[in-house]
Structure 1
Amino acid sequence: MIEGFDEIVLAWEKHELFYKELYEKKKGNPAEYRRFLSQLNVEDLREEGLVVPDLYDTFEIYGETTPIFDLNTDIAVWKHSRYTPAYLHAHRYFEIVCVVSGHARHRVSGETVMELQPGDICILPDGVCHSLEVINDDGIVINVMLKKSTFQYTFFDILSSDNLLSRFFQDALLEHKENNYLFFRTGNEEDDTIECCIKAMFLNYYKHRKYYDKMIKHLVSCLFILLLRNYNKYYIPDKNSQKELKIMRYLQEHYADATLEHAAAYFNYSTSYFSRMVKHNTGCNFTELLVKYRLELACRLLRESRLKVGEICEIIGYHNLEHFNRQFRKEFDRTPTQYRREHRDNVKKDQI
């Protein structure tokens, strides 16, 4: 029992009431429905973020800069609005769809249709088109969004194991498209641990109390562990997958002093062969991969530590502060100091 959850999620929000009216009108007399649509202002609907597929094209690809994410967190947790019309969309982050109560209809890649019930969990990688429809008053679906760009740092323990989830996320991070979702049916009256975990995630995000982001990261890790513990299905990584994982582990251990030559020697390959292998397996050359890793680690240190920018520069392997600032600005369109200030300001707002 998670106190306060039901009271919050079952309360009707303004846009849910609009969507319910839209749904009921569409089910009724066609002429009345057309008249109802004609009275709506498309610009107002768009401004309020409302989705009406019968009026305009609603397909969208949501990026990590969407307002869904706070500036200072890598994870967002939202309730899916009841009666929202089903509309295909995609996103550049991972999403976990969790059905807490009621029923939902989930269409993935425009083909697979799943009738979801309480306890069902669907994990989607980035880039997959899907739609979700919750058309019952007691239908509560919680969506957990995880930034792809910081996933490997936030959940390294998951990625460093050989199991169903690690294989799935590794493929997604390396932009392989063999698997377009994972599905778990966890409904079990005897064990509500997973349900409690999901509810706790939502409440922590909803209330934005101090350290809520750190708490949510731990809760997501707990969810992954519970899924692996209770639903024992595993992939056996092939040789290429093992190479990919070893490359990522190498960067995590040697990012400060890594070079192409050192990495090639570490794996007992020639420099030219290792360079081709990295490009083939990750889509990036070694330098691009190293820079990306260093800069994303810098972002994390800027957000979560009190280290000076110069100290962070040295920790991640840059010996020239000006060069570090230049690469950071090129990647994120702001200086490290500006990036830190934005996130610190947002944290202060959350704690007021």
Structure 2
Amino acid sequence: MELEQLLRQLHEYSKVEEYLMNHREIRNNKRLIQEFVATLNEDEAKEQLVPILPHMGSDTMSHPETFPESYFFYENDPLKVRITQHTRYSTPVMHKHDFYEMFYVYEGEFEQYIDNKTYVMRTGDICLVPPGVYHSLDVNNYSIVLNILIQKDSFQEIFFQNLSGDHIFSNFLISNVYTKKIDSFIIFPTNGDLKVKNMILDMYLETINKQKYYVQVVHSNLLLLLSHLLRHYEDRSIMPKPQRKRDVIDFEIITSIEKNYKDITLEQLSDSIHYSTQHISLRIKQLTGESFTKFLLRKRMTVASDLLKHTNMKIQDIGPDVGYKNQENFIRSFRKFYQTTPSQFRKDHSNFKL
């Protein structure tokens, strides 16, 4: 698909959108919504998320839904970003999900309900919503809104590996990943920034055309987009609460572990952060619910499992790569953590034929 075709597709109304536009009485009417859903074919029902909306047709504001990552992302699919167009004139559904989502207003404006407030989103605005945050979109007009869904682990890896530092994402990430807060979000008013628009359209085309290296291109473009938002719109961004000094310190602690998990010790972490080992141990426990040792183990095992699933790296090389000098210790730790051996885990989950 070429860019011109994509733009034409974004502006064209689907069969479902035309029906909803001409039958406004359907919105928020339980009986009429149920009758409408019954007329959809399988593909249309899936696009409208009917399979994961058991309360479809009920009061969606009173019955929040949970959208599972497994519905949008497949375990063996290397692409961790999905882009879709939000259905115009559809009934708002109060929901949360276990992945990250960015809403981009390509054209127009709509109302978003989040953090017990209503925000008017206008052309160029981007809203980043993490897992576990209840929100709804009310696109009851012509507006073109793109939903950019990002698999949770991949999104967090981008931050920890590429965007660590003292900026607004520190509070955002710490709040969501490690503290169970449910009011976290960021809105970037980009005022129709052409570079932002082009980056998002390029990503959309890559996910559609799936040309050679499209996965790497999409993931790289996502990093470029996030970096661009930080560079140009951090000062104008909207968040529910201001950043605190402790959030920055917490972020430094977690980031240090995430980036140096192969050989970091509590004493080394203490020296680099300039806080006592007791204080750091307490902060890690409060943030993650785990001790330093258990949190470090979880990180190593997560990396090891990803290498087993998504690469053909030899098992004897994976142990040292995640911080184990002794192969027996690696296998013993892996078996205890996952209740299976690394070789069996690879047989059950691998994308590669060895």
Please classify the TM superposition score into its range, dividing by the shorter chain length.
0.7 to 0.9
Give how far 1:8 is off.
3.7
Q: Quick one: structure 1 residues 128 and 335, their matched pair in 2 at CA, closer, same or farther if it must change by over 3 Å? A: farther
Specify the alignment match of 1:54 in structure 2: 57
1:105 maps onto 2:111 in alignment: yes
State how far apart, in whole Å, the 2-side matches of 1:108 and 1:325 are.
40
Question: Are 1:155 and 2:159 counterparts?
Answer: yes
2:89 corresponding residue in structure 1: 83
Distance 2:27 2:144 in 1: 28
SS in 2 for 1:104: strand
Partners of 1:229 and 1:36 in 2: how far apart?
A: 44
Aligned to 1:350: none
Q: 2:206 aligns with which of 196, 204, 208?
A: 204
Q: Using a 3 Å threshold, how does the CA distance of structure 1 residues 35 and 204 change in structure 2: closer, same or farther? A: closer
CA deviations on 1:215-240 (whole Å, 9 max, x unpaired) are 12221122122222322418985442
- Partner residue, 1:167: 171
| Paired position in structure 2 for 1:187 | 191
Where do 5+ consecutive residues of structure 2 fail to align?
Answer: none
Alpha-carbon distance change, 216 to 303 in structure 1, aligned in 2, over 3 angstroms: farther
Aligned residue number for residue 323 of structure 1: 332
Percent identity over paired residues: 24
Q: Determine if contact 1:171/1:177 at 8 Å carries over to the other structure.
A: yes
Q: 1:10 to 1:344 in 2, by over 3 A?
A: farther
How far 1:25 sits from its partner (Å)?
2.7
Cα distance, 1:34 vs structure 2: 5.0
1:136 to 128, 133, 141: 141
Shift of 1:134: 2.4
Q: Letter of the 1:221 partner, please give it.
A: L
Distance 1:236 1:163 in 2: 11
Aligned length: 336
The whole-number CA distance in structure 2 between the counterparts of 1:292 and 1:30 is 44
Q: CA deviation at 1:193?
A: 0.6
In 1, the alpha carbon distance for the partners of 2:160 and 2:96 equals 25
CA distance in structure 2 between the partners assigned to 1:27 and 1:55 by the alignment: 15
Q: Of residues 194, 218, 221 in structure 1, which corresponds to 2:220?
A: 218
Does the 8 Å CA contact 1:53/1:85 hold for their aligned counterparts? no
Q: CA RMSD in A?
A: 3.9
1:257-268 correspondence runs (5 A)? 257-260=263-266, 263-264=269-270
173 and 279 in structure 1: CA distance in 2 versus 1, 3 angstrom threshold? same
Instruction: Please give the residue correspondences for 1:250-289 in structure 2 after superposition, counting only pairs within 5 Å.
Output: 250-260=256-266, 263-264=269-270, 271-289=277-295
Q: Any idea what SS the aligned residue of 2:70 has?
A: coil
TM (normalized to structure 1)?
0.78
Partner SS for 1:149:
helix
Please, what TM-score do these two structures have when normalized by structure 2? 0.78
